[in-house]
Structure 1
C-alpha cells in the first residue's frame, strides 16, 4: 500500500495528535492540528485528529490508540519544547521500535533557517507498532513549524511506508 502524490490506490490512514493543555481545556483554539490535517488530506491521506493535554501518558495513549486503529502515519504537534509540561518526546520514545534521527535532525535544521528557537525542539521520529509498523513524527506546536515540518516529511513518507511494507530500496 504505497501512497503516491497523484492519490493512493488505497488511502493511507494518518492521525494528527495536537498536544496542548490550553487547547484541550478550550482556552485557545488549535490552529496547528487543523493545518496538519489540511496538508495531509491535500496529499491524499485519510486523516483524523485528536487533541490531548500535555504529558507523557496522554501522548503515549494517543499514539498507541492511533496505531491500534490503523494509522500508518502519526503526526504530533506540540509539547516538544523545554517547558515543564513539554513531554511529547517522553511519551513517544517508549513506543518507538526504531528511531529515525535523521528526520528529527532535518526538521530542526530546516526550522532553524527561519528561527533560531527551532534548535530547542526535542521532537523525535521513528517507527512504532507491530510490523509493518507506523511512522511517528513529533512536530512543534506552531502552524509555521507544522508547515515547515511537513515540507520536509511529506516527500519521505511514501518511501518509508513502502520500505516498512517490504518494498525495494
Structure 2
C-alpha cells in the first residue's frame, strides 16, 4: 500500500466535510471543492468529522496507484479551502511588460501582437511591476494557469529573457565566440 495513502488527514474546525455517493465535498472559509472518489478507494470520516482515512479496497496495481493519489488530492483540497495556493511569475526582458484589463491578462512579450489570457472564474491574477501572482483554491487549476502564462514566452538560455517562475533558475549558456 501507499505510504502517503496510509496517513490520515486532519480537518481543522472551520472546515465542513461531507461524503455522498463516492463524492467528497470540502467547504471552508475560501470556498468549496469536491472530488469524485474512485470505486477502488474507500474514504471514512473519523473522530466527529475531524480526520479522514483513505483505504484501498483490494491490492491490485490500479488501487495502489489511486490510494496515494486520492489522499494527496483530498489533502490539497483541505489546504486550498483554508489557505489557498499561489504561484508567482516574473517577466524579464527589454520591453516585456504585462497589465490587467478587468480580468484579462495582457502580455507584451516580444511578439508582433499582445497575448490575451482569460483566467477561469476561480482564479485571481494580480500584476505588480514585472511580477504576476496567480492565486486560487484549486492547486491543479492554479498550476495550469501559471504554466499557460509561462508557455507564452519561456525563458531562453542565452539572454534569460522570458517568463519564469519566481524561484526558477535559468541555466545560462555561452553564445558564439567572435573571432
TM-score (norm 1): 0.28
Structure with the greater alpha carbon radius of gyration = 2
Greater relative CO (CA pairs within 8 A, separation 6+): 1
More strand by share: 2
More helix by share: 1
